Structure 1
C-alpha cells in the first residue's frame, strides 16, 4: 500500500501545477481577493453563540443571494480552518509531496473564503465580529496521515454536495458563475483526496454518493454541526 501511494504521488505531483493555475484563475478573474496570506492563523475564539440565521430575502420578500453566499462563506471558512490547522501541525507520517498538496488545498480554500467575504461586504454574517469562528475539529484524527486525508475527504465531499445543491438557489447570474468556478475547484480537491487515499479511485467519486451528490443546506448544516461553535439556521434560504 505504501509503495502504491508513493507511486501515485510521483504521478500526481505533476497535477500540482493545475491546482495552482486553478487557484490563480479564481484570484485574477472575477474573484478579486483581499488579505489572503499563507500565514493566516487558525481562529482563536468563537464570534457568537447565538443562532445564525441566513436571510435569503429582502425587505419586500424578493429572493436575493446574500443568504446562499453566506452559506458558502461558512463552508469555505470551515475548510480553510481545517487545512490551516493541518498544515500548521502536519502528521509525522505524511508521504513525500503530501504536505505540498495540503498546502495547495489550504491556499485555495483561503482564496475562496476571502472572495466570499469581500463579495458579501457588510452583509457577511460576521461583518461586525471582532474575532473569527473557532471551529471544533476534536472529532477528527489529525495526528496521522490516514486520519488527515480521511477528514479531508469527508469535508471535500460535503463541500461538493453543498455546491451541487446550492446552485439552483442562486438568482444572480454573476454569483452562479462565481460559485460554479469555486465548485469546480472543490470537485478537483475531492478527486485528489480520494486518489491520495486510494490510487486510481477517481471513479468512486462519481455517482450517487460522490461528485454527483447534491445536498440541501439543511442536510449540509446537520453534517457539519459537530465542527461549529455556533448554532446555524438556514430556514430563511430559498428552497428552489
Structure 2
C-alpha cells in the first residue's frame, strides 16, 4: 500500500476526472492521498474532494505563489475554516504554505507575513504543516524555529545535508518525488540515497513535478510506485521496505492519515 503525500486535486484541473485518477492509482496500490489547498478560493473544494475520496485527507492553507492575489481577510477565513475542521478526521493540517524564492516578481514581504501568520495558526491549533520551500530553505527554517509547529513535511526538498538535518531536528519529514528520477539531479539523488530512514516521504505533487518518463506532462499518483522504485534503487533497498518506511513517516508527520481506513 502507498500513501501519496502531496497531490493537488482541485476543481479546475482534476474534479472532472477525479474518480479515474484515483482508480488508476488504486490499481497500483496507491490508496491514501493528501490534498492541499492553495488559497481561500479552494478551501471548500479540497475538503469536499477529500470527503468524496476514500483514503484522502486534506490541508488548508495559502500557497506562497498565490499570496500576491490573496486578501488580508483570507487569513481570517483560514482561521475560521480551521476551527470548523479541527474535529474532522480528514483534516490533516495547514498546507500548502511556505515561501518561494524562485518565481520572479512575487512580493517577498507579503509571503513572509502570510507564512508567519499561518505558522502561528498551526502552533495555536497544534496541527501539522505541509510546506513549499523552493529556493527559500533557510527563511522557512527561521519561521519554523520561531513558531515550532508540531510536525510536517518540507515538500519537494532540494537543499544541503545540513539544511536537511535542521528540518529533521524540527520534527519535519522531507518529500521526494519525480525530480529524483532525472539522472542529472545529482545532489537530489545523493540526498534521496543517503538521508536517514526517518527523513523520507514519497510524493508526486500531481499534476506537477513529473518524473523523467513523462517529462513536462501531467503528473498523477499512479506514477508513485515507479518513482519509489527509483528511490529504492538509490538507497539500495527494496521498494516494499521503502513503501513501509514512507507510510510510517507520512503518518508520523500527518497523523490524520492514520485515521483513514485503507481501501481493500
Identify whether the pair has TM-score above 0.5, normalized to the shorter chain. Answer: no
TM range (shorter): under 0.3
Q: TM-score, normalised by structure 1?
A: 0.24
**Between structures 1 and 2, the one with greater helix share:** 1
**Between structures 1 and 2, the one with greater strand share:** 2
Q: TM-score, normalised by structure 2?
A: 0.22
Q: Which has the higher contact order (CA 8 A, sep 6+)?
A: 1
